[in-house]
Amino acid sequence: MQNNLSNGLPVKNASGQCPSATPCGGDISSAASVPSSHSPQGEAQPINGLQAQSVSPSELEQFEEFKKIKLMEQTRARIAKVECDCLSSSIGRAELRSLCREAERLALGGIVVLPVHVKMCVVYLGDDPRCSLIAPVSYPHGGDSTEGKIALVKRAVRDGVDEVEVYAPFSAIKEGNMAYVRREFKKLARAVRPRALRIVLDCSVLREEEVIRACNCAADCGVNVVRLVNAGGLSAIVSAKSALRDRCLLKADGNTLSAMEEAEALGASLINCNGAVELCSRLLSCVNN
């Protein structure tokens, strides 16, 4: 989702500047005309019947502006895939309001907040927000009963959440009781409507083969997104992506730029970054400068 920044994002050089590339690494004005040894020095010769012309300063300026616009579009598209957890129970209203405003200013893909904070965040994000509001259910253990999870999901939907991330029943998965897991996922998918359902798999609890089984089950039951937490390596992302077979989206952690690039390259459609506001602000600043 490759160079040091995927999708053509700039990388600052040693002087701290963001260099602007020219086509094929050359200078665009010199590439516009082709001198010939059979003509007066500096005179451009016809190419395929057309007279080559040098690029005027105004045309060069327009081209540079076009490149900047395209780069900004690519950067914005990347930021729209980045989400941020805010799951501290001690967070204050001022900090929560600031996070919502920054997330909306940057047009982050989403913020994940505790269910108790959903109503406040609906107000702070305002009407028709670009940033999705997500609430976790049965965080972080997944040990609640199916009925308890359903009640929490319905409450979050009433409070105004856009999507719900439900932690899977890890004990049932480890016991191989996939019939229980399948029933729970189907009930949750019905309970969350018309919102989106995400299932969270903790790779520090589940073995890779258990993650694969749970991914297959989630995709079969109409889950919209599978999120991996504590993956601790790239193989889990590869295995989950292969198991899902594009039947639903995959979300993975990427708290640094390099980790984000790796997760994107392996097929993650959404990236959770705890420092999303700071990192995305730097990306935009690099393009603007």
The 10s digit of each residue's pLDDT in 79-95 is: 999 999 999 989 999 99
Predicted confidence (pLDDT) at residue 24 exceeds the cutoff of 80: no
How far apart, in whole angstroms, are the C-alpha atoms of residue 11 and residue 151?
A: 47
Q: Are residues 49 and 126 in the same domain?
A: no
Question: Strands 46-47, 50-51: parallel, antiparallel or unpaired by DSSP?
Answer: antiparallel
Final residue before a domain boundary, out of 35, 55, 74:
74
Cis bond before residue 35 (omega within 30° of 0):
no
Final residue before a domain boundary, out of 50, 74, 98:
74
Specify the pLDDT at position 233: 80
Average pLDDT in the 223-230 region? 97
Q: Are residues 57 and 112 in the same domain?
A: no
Q: Are residues 165 and 65 in the same domain?
A: no
Q: Are residues 143 and 50 in the same domain?
A: no
Q: Are residues 65 and 112 in the same domain?
A: no
Is 56 among the domain residues? Answer: yes
Q: Are residues 34 and 143 in the same domain?
A: no
pLDDT band, residue 53 (cuts 50/70/90): low
Question: What CATH code is carried by the domain that includes residue 201?
Answer: 3.20.20.70
Provide the CB-side half-sphere exposure for 48 (13 A, CA): 0
Give ∠ CA 28-30-32 in degrees, rounded to 5. Answer: 70
Selection from 71, 72, 63, 70 nearest residue 27 by Cα: 63
Average pLDDT in the 49-64 region? 77
For residue 37, the tally of other CB atoms under 10 A from its CB is 6
Structure tokens at 143: 């040990």
Average pLDDT in the 219-230 region? 97
Is 280 among the domain residues? Answer: yes
Predicted confidence (pLDDT) at residue 50 exceeds the cutoff of 60: no
How far apart, in whole angstroms, are the C-alpha atoms of residue 34 and residue 54?
A: 10
Q: Are residues 40 and 134 in the same domain?
A: no
Q: Are residues 153 and 224 in the same domain?
A: yes
Is 238 among the domain residues? Answer: yes
**84, β-bridge pairs:** 111
Q: Are residues 153 and 98 in the same domain?
A: yes
Average pLDDT in the 71-82 region? 96
pLDDT band, residue 49 (cuts 50/70/90): very low
- Within 8 A by CB and 6+ apart from 230, the residues are 202, 203, 204, 205, 253
Alpha helices, DSSP H, located in 46-145 = 57-79, 93-106, 118-125
Q: Are residues 135 and 274 in the same domain?
A: yes
Specify the pLDDT at position 232: 81
Share of the chain above pLDDT 90, in %: 75
Q: Are residues 42 and 127 in the same domain?
A: no
Predicted confidence (pLDDT) at residue 180 exceeds the cutoff of 90: yes
Is 119 among the domain residues? Answer: yes
How far apart, in whole angstroms, are the C-alpha atoms of residue 271 and residue 109?
A: 9
Specify the pLDDT at position 205: 97
The gap between the terminal CA atoms of the chain, to the nearest Å, is: 23
Is 1 among the domain residues? Answer: no
Specify the pLDDT at position 54: 84
H or E element in which residue 264 lies: helix 257-265
Q: pTM of this prediction?
A: 0.79
Mean of per-residue pLDDT scores for the chain: 86
Selection from 164, 169, 145, 144 nearest residue 154 by Cα: 164
Q: Are residues 68 and 85 in the same domain?
A: no
- Number of folded domains that form the chain: 2
Q: Print the domain residue range for 230.
A: 81-288
CB under 8 A, 24+ apart: contacts of 60-64: 60/28, 60/29, 63/28, 64/20
- Within 8 A by CB and 6+ apart from 191, the residues are 150, 153, 154, 157
Q: Do 172 and 150 contact (CB within 8 A), yes or no?
A: no
Mean pLDDT is lowest, of 58-67, 127-136, 153-162, for 58-67
Greater model confidence, 116 or 22: 116
DSSP label of 45: P
